[in-house]
Structure 1
Amino acid sequence: MTMEQKELDHKVNKLKKSVQEIEQDIQVLEDLQNKYDFKRKTLDGQVEAETKGQTTKENQPEEMAIRQMFTSLNIKREVVIKEIANVLTLAEQIQLTLISDELPEWKKRQQMACIGGPHNTCLDQLQSWFTVVAECLQQIRQQLKKVQELVQKFTYNNDPLTLGKSQLDEQALSLFKNLILNSLLVERQPCMAMHPQRPLVLKMGVQFTVKIRLLVKLPELNCQPKVKISIDKGLSEMDTVKGFRNFLLLTNDTKVMNLDESTGCLAAEFRHLILKERTPSNKTNKCSLAVYEELHLFSFDTQLILPDLCIDLSVTCLPAVLINAICPQSSAWGSILWYNMLYSEPHNLTFFLNPPPVKWEQLSKVISWQFSSVTKRALNSEQLRMLADKFLGHEAQGDPEGLVHWNTFLRTSGGCGGSLLQWIYEHLELTKKYVLNIWNDGYIMSYLSQEREKALLRDKLPGTFLLRFSDDCHCGGITITWVEHSQDGEPVVRSTKPYTRADMNRIPLPNFIRDYTVTTGEKDPVNPLIYLYPDIPRDVAFGRYYTSASDALGRMNENPGQHYNTSGYVLVKCQGHLT
């Protein structure tokens, strides 16, 4: 925990201890009041019987003792009511920190985690603080009821227990309600099961999930409230006229909150939600935003009914992008990246009407997160420098405030007509599905300029090669570049054509490197790829990833109808035989 969180934790523990001390003091006060009441009535009864209401000299010492007891009782009542006031002040301070600082900070961490950031989104500590404060407030409310019982049994003019008690009742109730109102949150943002690293991008007709959770864990809250989910709740007619699409939830929109076994808190997980676009009856205005720039909100509403209290709760998820089959998922994911880099609550659904630029320092970090979140390696400074050339140009490299605009990110060419966004997205998908192990080993240099590539290889042994993402393939490809020496001894750098995912479906990249050959003149074909940069023998680097014909046959059995090529031979399974 940070120093601020340690201080908060100390205050929470102090609050818990103080409430327990008040509990003991109220018990002492009750005993003292009962003792005083008994002695007072006993003495009054004796006086009434003996002297018809007149205190005699024999009764004066006992009368003095009872008066002293009353003074002590009055002081104790003052102490108890003051302690309750002080504890409520402390609870209010803690609650303000939780709601104004810790909860928004967790939401920001979750927002960054949604776009790949390595942020801790565990709720255990936050839940512990919320729960302790809620328990203490409930105890204080019960203590105030006990105080009222004591007042009803015995009261007098200027009784400290009656001065300001109603205000303390209202304060305790208000704090408890406010804490509960802020304890409902979206634990897991909307996400399609097949794309766990791409939350908030949802496709029509494809199931997605979302989970909400109550941070306060109290026995009296186990009332199984129903939660209703809705989309774009409360949008006015003007919002609809702007051209935003309207959607329907095809599945059940209500879920009962049950106790989560792992946390002990109330939670509701919607697991099989499906969306369909609502056909507009009269839509004359065309939306000025593209499909992947429209942002939509899911809202969750529920009601907690307690013995003496009813609280309406509501929470919304982060804005989601809803796409159809023809909308590129890369563009939708780009919108999610851009929005969450730059914006938080309150949510702005028209954000992309005028999206602000982002500093390259921030964008480069987020781009690197895309790799570190699904692999074991982020992009290094040199790889990011090459991307900076693409986004900012060489002339802007020295500007630490270099700004990248949305149109640059979305539409500037990154190779073969594709955008920079699509170019990065496709290489990331290729890395995840086809060369993850090689990437994790650090054998792919990813984004590398051709000038830098030549500089690295120029002084290396002939046959030294490196792997980089292709500049000229918007659908994702890996280019292999090696160095050889000409007849006069000068280094010559040569490259293969981009090796795409279509190629990798036929031949795994390690096999391609092992079996790659070139023919020069009348000489027999030779493999020019000998040392992986800087000086790792080819078979040492890739040997454990080579596959044989039998491996290819196994993959064919798993995926019938596909052809695989290994070691230069095409394998075709015909009537159960390998040919």
Structure 2
Amino acid sequence: MAQWFQLQQLDSKYLEQVDQLYDDTFPMEIRQYLSAWIESHDWDMVATSVSLAAVRFHDLLAQLDIQYSRFALENNFLLQHNIRKIKRNLQDAEHEIKSLEDLQDEYDFKKKTLQSRGTVGVSHSVASLVLVSFNSLGLGHKTRLFILVTVEVPEWKHRQQIACIGGPPNACLDQLQIWFTAVAEGLQQVRQQLKKLQELEQKYTYENDPITQGKRALEERALTLFKYLIVNSIVVERQPCMPTHPQRPMVLKTGVQFTVKIRLLVKLQEFNYQLKVKAVFDKVRKFNILGTNTKVMNMEESNGSLAAEFRHLGPLIVMEELHSISFETQLCQPGLQVELETMSLPIVVISNISQMPSAWASVMWYNMLTSESKDLTFFLSPPQATWSQLSKVLSWQFSSVTKRGLNDEQLSMLGDKLLGREAAGNPNGLIPWTKFCKNVNEKSFPFWLWIEGILDLIKRHLLCLWNDGCIMGFVSKEREKALLKDKEPGTFLLRFSESSREGAITFTWVEDVHFHAVEPYTKKELAAVSFPDILRNYKVMAAENIPENPLRYLYPNIPKDSAFTRYYSRPTEAAEPMELESASEAGYIKTELISVSEVHPSRLQDAMLPMSPEVYGELTRIINPDEIENVVGYSQTAPDTHTD
């Protein structure tokens, strides 16, 4: 392994020489992957012993089997190896043609002096050998083409779909372009060599000449394969996307410019500056209609005419209406004309940015559930998603805009919310489109819009806290009580409100046997005061009207200031001499916004009985006298301060 590592440090020109030492019999990749095993044996000794060499040979085969099973991308490895083999075969075919040309020249010379059947026989055998080689090359190219077009490209397109909705980044197209170009160059070389054979045929031919009989079929096969490769080599490298929303591709707003990138995977010099691409919006568009759209024409009794009346029809809503952009071009060369076309993934066009969340839900649902790029009627009858599919996509929405996705605990809470507790643990539980993105009833709001509101809240006000794992976020009230009940008084956790469509965050803390949750903070409050400052300055009016901060430990046991000090706002720096006078210099007292909760009844009980006149007077100043009796009789199992 050390020797191979040292070789990799050489300059590129020496590495090319190293590459030339290996061929298809023993590819350089084998030397690389088995370097540790190869360098662990004394091959000088192996070379002197036939029996030891046989043992090492079988060991090598075993190592190859082991390594083959480890390849995560074995198809790619084999494809690279096969393309190199094609190039080597092409070089062999070119050498055979050169030999045939030499024999032809020799034959022309000898023909003038004597008729040599032997030479004719040799020419005949070489020509047959060349045609056999070309047939073998044609079959090899066909196999590689099939792998590229039907396996590699569809897999790349599927990875692109996943990347577009927040999944892992898609591998770049450079490797696919290398493979496509290698096969295209090979096919072009075959066509050129067939032209050379035609020139030889014009010099000399004879009855049952294999070149004359087989050349036409070979030319047609090479041309067909080349066209097939070119037609399938044009792809949409980057899907349509507005620059203002780079993480929400395939959602376009009317009147806003967008970008899209097309790429031809065959990189040949003769194609430069020849292809002019035309973009067409909704080339084969048929707008969708909800309701019964087919009826039989019946005879009307009133006038005897044949008629059919359609009722209760309606179009899909804008956010479910899918569109597409087609890209067309034409490749024209002598003896070759190819029409090329590719299509973007379905896009959603909106007229107002407020439609973005619902439009993005449509894009996610489509690309999560289908790889068919032309199914523009998808939302006439949208399929259901399994929880295993949707949970990944939900986590991607967070990891794509922050540094942290959703963990199993958070996803479990969301699964409960969508499927109910009975089915939440089932990865195959089905979620319909309507439950994900539409109002179930008038009192609720769509699940996705709730998630979207929380995402926006995090991006605007909570990004650092979320990235550092300070926010538990998605936890039910029952679960938070189970987590806090055995903790030190003052232990608190941060979670998102379930009753706020726009996104809100709250905190719950434990005090003895009681749990308290503060009213959720929305974007409006967080725009005025940062959430870490709210946690630092939060106060509860305790007995004797003394405010105190009940928050001591971030769950599970992190001191509050240790967790949030780096997020607290810094004191305002001293003003420069030339700056305007500060508030204090102008005669004003500085103020600071803090959050204060009213007295908790559970806190007052221990201090209220017996009650002195002074305490009673202070209590009536804070609480309505009519409510004092209720407060005094407050149960030890007091409810939460807030029900959210």
1:512 aligned onto 2:537 = no
1:536 aligned onto 2:558 = yes
Post-superposition offset of 1:413: 6.0
**CA–CA distance in 2 between the matches of 1:567 and 1:341?**
48
Indicate conservation of the 8 Å contact 1:416/1:473, yes or no: no
Aligned pairs (5 A) from 1:181-192: 181-192=231-242
Q: 2:168 aligns with which of 118, 132, 141?
A: 118
If each structure's strand is expressed as a fraction of its own residues, which one has the higher value?
1
Letter in 1 for 2:163: A
Post-superposition offset of 1:3: 1.6
| Alpha carbons of structure 1 residues 24 and 550: separation in structure 2 relative to 1, 3 Å | farther
Q: Number of matched residues?
A: 491
1:71 aligned onto 2:96 = no
Q: 2:518 aligns with which of 484, 493, 496?
A: 496
**CA–CA distance in 1 between the matches of 2:171 and 2:261?**
14
**CA–CA distance in 2 between the matches of 1:469 and 1:398?**
22
Aligned pairs (5 A) from 1:339-488: 339-412=366-439, 417-485=444-512
Indicate conservation of the 8 Å contact 1:410/1:419, yes or no: yes
| Alpha carbons of structure 1 residues 229 and 484: separation in structure 2 relative to 1, 3 Å | same
Please give the per-residue CA displacement for 1:362-381, whole angstroms capped at 9, x wherever unaligned: 11111111112222211111
| Alpha carbons of structure 1 residues 518 and 3: separation in structure 2 relative to 1, 3 Å | same
Indicate conservation of the 8 Å contact 1:192/1:207, yes or no: yes
Letter in 2 for 1:348: D
Q: 1:418 is paired with a residue of what secondary structure?
A: coil
Aligned pairs (5 A) from 1:104-503: 104-235=154-285, 239-240=286-287, 242=289, 287-325=314-352, 327-412=354-439, 417-485=444-512, 491-503=513-525
Q: 2:146 is paired with a residue of what secondary structure?
A: helix
Letter in 2 for 1:148: Q
Please give the per-residue CA displacement for 1:127-151, whole angstroms capped at 9, x wherever unaligned: 1111100110111110110110111
Please give the per-residue CA displacement for 1:323-382, whole angstroms capped at 9, x wherever unaligned: 111752111111111111112225211111111111111111111111122222111111
Indicate conservation of the 8 Å contact 1:478/1:499, yes or no: yes
| Alpha carbons of structure 1 residues 80 and 494: separation in structure 2 relative to 1, 3 Å | same
| Structure 2 match to 1:16 | 87
Post-superposition offset of 1:388: 0.9
Q: 1:375 is paired with a residue of what secondary structure?
A: coil
Gaps of 5+ in 1: 45-62, 244-283, 486-490, 558-564, 571-579
Indicate conservation of the 8 Å contact 2:166/2:400, yes or no: yes
1:25 aligned onto 2:96 = yes
| Structure 1 match to 2:593 | 568
Indicate conservation of the 8 Å contact 2:412/2:425, yes or no: no
| Alpha carbons of structure 1 residues 166 and 216: separation in structure 2 relative to 1, 3 Å | same
Post-superposition offset of 1:502: 1.9
Q: Which of the pair has the greater relative contact order for Cα pairs under 8 Å at 6+ separation?
A: 1
Of stretches 506-515 and 320-329 in structure 1, the one that deviates more from structure 2 is 320-329
Letter in 1 for 2:100: L
Post-superposition offset of 1:425: 1.1
Letter in 2 for 1:434: H
**CA–CA distance in 1 between the matches of 2:561 and 2:380?**
53
Of stretches 338-347 and 150-159 in structure 1, the one that deviates more from structure 2 is 338-347
Indicate conservation of the 8 Å contact 2:234/2:263, yes or no: yes
| Alpha carbons of structure 1 residues 463 and 398: separation in structure 2 relative to 1, 3 Å | closer
Post-superposition offset of 1:234: 2.2
Post-superposition offset of 1:122: 1.2
1:83 aligned onto 2:133 = yes
Indicate conservation of the 8 Å contact 1:296/1:322, yes or no: yes
Letter in 1 for 2:229: L
| Alpha carbons of structure 1 residues 567 and 157: separation in structure 2 relative to 1, 3 Å | farther
Post-superposition offset of 1:7: 1.8
Letter in 2 for 1:360: W
| Alpha carbons of structure 1 residues 566 and 422: separation in structure 2 relative to 1, 3 Å | farther
Q: Please, what TM-score do these two structures have when normalized by structure 1?
A: 0.81
